[in-house]
Chain A
Amino acid sequence: MNFKRLAAIAYKETLQVWRDPRSLAIALLMPLLQMVLLGYGVSLDIKRVPLCVYDQENSQTSRAVVQGFTASKWFAVARILGDERAVRAAMDRGLCAGVVTVPVDFSRRLAATGTASVQSVFDATDANTTNIAIGYAEAAVARTAADFQARWAAAHGRRVPTVGTVDLEPRVWFNEGLDSRNFIIPGVVAVILGLVGAQLTSLTISREWERGTMEQLISTPVTALEVMIGKLVPYFFIGLLDAAFCLGAAAYWFRVPFRGSLGALVVTTALFTLVVLGIGYLVSVRIRSQLGASQVALMLTMLPINLLSGYAFPIDQMPAPIRAVTLVVYARYFVTILRALFLKGSTVGALAVPIAALVLYAVVILWVAARGFRKRLD
C-alpha cells in the first residue's frame, strides 16, 4: 500500500466530484431535500380526522354529542349534512373519513331508557387510520357520556357510582409526547445516508469505464486496494458531513430528544456509512454503465431501507418470513441504534448486537468489494 498513490486517487476523486454537478447535487442537495420531505411529510400521527356530522335531532343534547367530537383535536368537522343521501355522497366523494349520525329520537331515548346510540360510519379504505379513528370516536363518546352522567347525578343530588371500575394508568417512556415524529426522524437519517452514500460510490468505478479512463488507470502500478480506499475516502467524509447535517437537523430542528452518547453516535454512523459506501462500490465494480449502476444501487438501498428497516413499518408486525429477511437488511440495525441513542439514551453495551451486526456487515462488504475489482479488462 502506497499512501501517496492512495492520496492521489482520493484527490482526483474529490476534484471530479467537485466538478460534476450531478455528484455534487447528490452529495449536498439530496440530504437537504430528503430531510425536509421525509421530516415533514412522513408522520404516523392521526390528528384532525375529517368528520361529517348528520344531526337528525338538533337538540341541546344532540349538539352536546357533536361538541364531544369537535372539541377534541383528533377530529375536524368537514361538513354538516342535512339528509341520508348526503351521507352516502360525502363518503363516496371522500369528503370525510367518517360520518357521525345522531338519531332523531336520541334525547327521548336517553331520557326514557338511560341509553341511546350514536351511529358512526367510517371509510375503512385505510384500515389502520380507521381503527385509530374509531378508537378516538369511542373515547369522545365516552367522555360525553360521562359528562351526561355527572350532570344527571348532580341534578339528582347523587354521586356517580364508582364501584367496580378498573382504571389503566398508562405511562409512556422514551417518547413521552407520543409523537410519531420522534420515532420516524432518527430512521430518516438512515434512509438518507443509505441513499446518498450508495448513489455516490455507485458512479465511481462505472464512470471510469464509461469515460474510457479505466484502461489507462489499470495499466499503472496502482493497486486495486489503493483504488478502492482512495476512492472511498472522499465519499466517507461527504457521508459523515451529510450525516452530521441530518442528525443535527433531527436534534435541533425537529427537536427529537437526544439522550445517548455522542461518541457511540459518531462511531455507529461511520460504520453505517462504510456499509453503504461499500455496497455502492461493489455495484460500481460489477456494472460498467453509470446509469445501470445507479439504478441497481437505488434498488439495493431505497427499497430495503424504506420497507424493511423498521424505520416506518414496525418489524415485529411483519409476517415471520419477512421478519427473517429483515435480518440481512443492514439498515435495520442502524435504525435500532439511532432510535435507542436518540430516545432511550441506551448504553453501548445494550446495543452490542446491532453494533456487532454493522461491524460484520462493513467487513464483509468491503472485503467482497476489494476482491471484486480486478485490474483487468476481461
Chain B
Amino acid sequence: MNVEAATVVEMRGLVRRFGAVSAVRDVNIEIARGEIFGLVGPDGAGKTTIMRMLAGVLRPDAGQIRLMGVDVVAEPERAKPHLSYMPQRFGLYEDMTVAENIFFYATLFEVPARVRRERARGLLEGAGLQAFEGRRAGRLSGGMKQKLGLVCALIHTPRVLVLDEPTTGVDPVSRREFWGILYGLREEGVTIFLSTAYMDEAERCSRLALLNAGEIRYCDTPARLKRLLPGALLAVTTRDARAAHAALEGVPGVLGRLLMGDRVNVRVDDALLRTPALGARLAERGVRDAEIAPVEPGIEDVFVTLLGGAPERGAGGAE
C-alpha cells in the first residue's frame, strides 16, 4: 500500500438504521486514489446500504462521508459529478438503445458532444459493444448489459466508481472482460469501490473489507487477510470428501474444516505436527485414498473462518 497516495474516499463512523434494524454500524473506510476496494460479506451485511450512502442517494443516520474532498452527506449534489454509481439492479433504460442510453447519461453529466463521441467509441470498443449501438438495452445479454452499464458510468470520466455486485449473474468470460476494463481504469487513476459475491474477484482487489451484520470485521489486503488465519491449511484430497470431512471431526489440533468439491480444506494449528494424525484418523475411518498436502488459503477460507461461517463454528470450537 502506498501510504502517500491521496485519500479519495473517507467514511467515518457511518451508521444507518432501517426501523429497528441497524443495517450499518460504525463503518470506517478510507480509500486511496487508484485502489480497487472490495466489500465482501453475506447477504444483508450492509454492502448495498454503504454503497448507496457513498453514492449520495441514501442519507446516513450518523457519520461522515468525504469524496474528493466534498462532504457527501451535506452536499450530495456536489459530489455526484465526481462519481459513477452502478446499482445492483440494472439501472439503464431497457426501452432505449445502447447509443441512446449513452447519450442520455453523457448529457446528464454535461459531457460535450465531441468528447462524448470519442469516448463512447473507445468505451464501446473496449467493451466489445460497438456492433450493438442500435440495439435496445433490454435485448442485450446479462454480461453485455453490465458492460453497457459500465460504459454509461464511465462516459463522464468519473474519479470514483461505485459498483454494487457488478458481475452477479454474468458468465465467466464476460466477467473476465469486465475485470479487464476495471484494471485499465485503475491505470488511469480511477478509484473503484465495489462489492462482490465472487471470491476470485475479491482476491483481485487491492484491499478488502469483510462486512458482517453491518460492521467491518477485517479490512486489509487479501494477502494480509490470509495471514490472519491461525495455523496452516491442509488439503485432504479424496474420492469421498464427505466421509473425510466427517472423519476429521474432533481430531486434536484441527481448527476448522471446509468441505470443497473434491477435497476437504482442514485448518490445523501446526501442519507438520498434525499431518500424521490426520492420516491415521482417515485410515481408521476407512478413507484410504486420501492425500494430504499443504495449500495456500484462498479468500473463501478467510471469509468463512474470519466471519465465522456456520459450518465451521462447531468444528473449530470442538477443541
* With known contacts A215-B91, A220-B108, A223-B77, A16–B96 Cβ distance under 8 A: yes
CB distance from B74 to the nearest CB of A (A): 14
Inside 8 A of A213's CB, which chain B residues have their CB?
A: 91-93
A376 and B91 CA atoms in complex are apart in Å by 15
CB distance from A227 to the nearest CB of B (A): 10
How many residues belonging to A are interface residues under a CB distance threshold of 8 Å?
28
Q: Which of B76, B80, B85, B104 is within 8 Å of A12, CB to CB?
A: B104
Do the beta carbons of B110 and A5 come within 8 Å of each other?
A: yes
Do the beta carbons of A2 and B110 come within 8 Å of each other?
A: yes
CB distance from B100 to the nearest CB of A (A): 7
Stretch at the interface among B2-10, B54-62, B269-277, B310-318: B54-62
Asked if A19 is at the interface (CB within 8 A of a chain B CB), the reply is: yes
When C-beta atoms are compared, the residue in chain A nearest to B108 turns out to be A220
Asked if B95 is at the interface (CB within 8 A of a chain A CB), the reply is: yes
Do the beta carbons of A376 and B59 come within 8 Å of each other?
A: yes
Do the beta carbons of A216 and B86 come within 8 Å of each other?
A: yes
Q: Which of B59, B80, B87, B93 is within 8 Å of A220, CB to CB?
A: B80
Do the beta carbons of A220 and B55 come within 8 Å of each other?
A: no
Inside 8 A of A221's CB, which chain B residues have their CB?
A: 77, 80-81, 108-110
A2 and B108 CA atoms in complex are apart in Å by 9
When C-beta atoms are compared, the residue in chain B nearest to A219 turns out to be B85
When C-beta atoms are compared, the residue in chain A nearest to B49 turns out to be A377
When C-beta atoms are compared, the residue in chain A nearest to B56 turns out to be A219
Asked if A222 is at the interface (CB within 8 A of a chain B CB), the reply is: yes
CB distance from A272 to the nearest CB of B (A): 30
A16 and B137 CA atoms in complex are apart in Å by 13
When C-beta atoms are compared, the residue in chain B nearest to A17 turns out to be B95
Asked if A4 is at the interface (CB within 8 A of a chain B CB), the reply is: yes
Do the beta carbons of A222 and B91 come within 8 Å of each other?
A: no
Inside 8 A of A7's CB, which chain B residues have their CB?
A: 107
* With known contacts A4-B110, A5-B108, A216-B85, A378–B59 Cβ distance under 8 A: yes
Number of A-B contacts (CB under 8 A): 78
Asked if A212 is at the interface (CB within 8 A of a chain B CB), the reply is: yes
- Cβ < 8 Å to B, chain A residues 46-63: none
When C-beta atoms are compared, the residue in chain A nearest to B96 turns out to be A15
* With known contacts A215-B91, A216-B85, A5–B56 Cβ distance under 8 A: no
Asked if B105 is at the interface (CB within 8 A of a chain A CB), the reply is: yes
Which one of B76, B89, B108 has the greatest number of beta carbons of chain A within 10 Å? B108
Asked if B132 is at the interface (CB within 8 A of a chain A CB), the reply is: no
CB distance from B228 to the nearest CB of A (A): 34
Do the beta carbons of B56 and A212 come within 8 Å of each other?
A: no
Asked if B183 is at the interface (CB within 8 A of a chain A CB), the reply is: no
Asked if B94 is at the interface (CB within 8 A of a chain A CB), the reply is: yes
A212 and B108 CA atoms in complex are apart in Å by 18
CB distance from B42 to the nearest CB of A (A): 22
- Cβ < 8 Å to A, chain B residues 11-65: 52, 55-59
Inside 8 A of B95's CB, which chain A residues have their CB?
A: 15-16, 19-20
A12 and B93 CA atoms in complex are apart in Å by 9
Do the beta carbons of B107 and A377 come within 8 Å of each other?
A: no
CB distance from A92 to the nearest CB of B (A): 58
How many residues belonging to B are interface residues under a CB distance threshold of 8 Å?
31
Do the beta carbons of A8 and B104 come within 8 Å of each other?
A: yes
Asked if B90 is at the interface (CB within 8 A of a chain A CB), the reply is: yes
Which one of B89, B92, B107 has the greatest number of beta carbons of chain A within 10 Å? B107
Do the beta carbons of A216 and B91 come within 8 Å of each other?
A: yes
When C-beta atoms are compared, the residue in chain A nearest to B76 turns out to be A375
* With known contacts A2-B110, A5-B110, A376-B59, A220–B94 Cβ distance under 8 A: no
- Cβ < 8 Å to B, chain A residues 211-236: 211-223
Q: Which of A12, A211, A376 is within 8 Å of B57, CB to CB?
A: A376
- Cβ < 8 Å to A, chain B residues 219-253: none
Inside 8 A of B87's CB, which chain A residues have their CB?
A: 212, 215-216, 219
* With known contacts A5-B108, A16-B96, A221-B109, A212–B57 Cβ distance under 8 A: no
Inside 8 A of B56's CB, which chain A residues have their CB?
A: 219
Do the beta carbons of B108 and A377 come within 8 Å of each other?
A: no
Do the beta carbons of B107 and A8 come within 8 Å of each other?
A: yes
* With known contacts A4-B110, A8-B107, A219–B57 Cβ distance under 8 A: yes
Which one of A2, A215, A375 has the greatest number of beta carbons of chain B within 10 Å? A215
CB distance from B87 to the nearest CB of A (A): 4
Inside 8 A of A216's CB, which chain B residues have their CB?
A: 85-87, 91-92
A181-219 CB mask vs B (1 if < 8 Å, else 0) is 000000000000000000000000000000111111111
Inside 8 A of B103's CB, which chain A residues have their CB?
A: 8
* With known contacts A8-B108, A216-B86, A377-B52, A211–B58 Cβ distance under 8 A: no
When C-beta atoms are compared, the residue in chain A nearest to B80 turns out to be A221
A215 and B85 CA atoms in complex are apart in Å by 9
Inside 8 A of B109's CB, which chain A residues have their CB?
A: 220-221
Inside 8 A of B94's CB, which chain A residues have their CB?
A: 211
CB distance from B89 to the nearest CB of A (A): 4
CB distance from A220 to the nearest CB of B (A): 4
B62-85 CB mask vs A (1 if < 8 Å, else 0) is 000000000000001100110111
A195 and B77 CA atoms in complex are apart in Å by 36
Which one of B57, B76, B77, B105 has the greatest number of beta carbons of chain A within 10 Å? B57
- Cβ < 8 Å to A, chain B residues 108-125: 108-110
Do the beta carbons of B96 and A220 come within 8 Å of each other?
A: no
Inside 8 A of B108's CB, which chain A residues have their CB?
A: 5, 8, 220-222
A223 and B104 CA atoms in complex are apart in Å by 14
* With known contacts A218-B57, A376-B58, A378-B58, A4–B92 Cβ distance under 8 A: no
The 5 closest A-B pairs by CB, nearest first: A216-B91, A8-B107, A219-B85, A212-B89, A215-B87
Query: What residues of chain B have their CB less than 8 Å away from a CB belonging to chain A?
Result: 52, 55-59, 76-77, 80-81, 83-87, 89-96, 100, 103-105, 107-110
CB pairs A–B below 8 angstroms (22 shown):
A2-B110, A5-B108, A8-B103, A8-B107, A8-B108, A12-B100, A12-B104, A15-B96, A16-B95, A16-B96, A214-B91, A215-B52, A215-B57, A216-B92, A220-B105, A220-B108, A222-B108, A375-B76, A376-B57, A377-B52, A377-B58, A378-B59
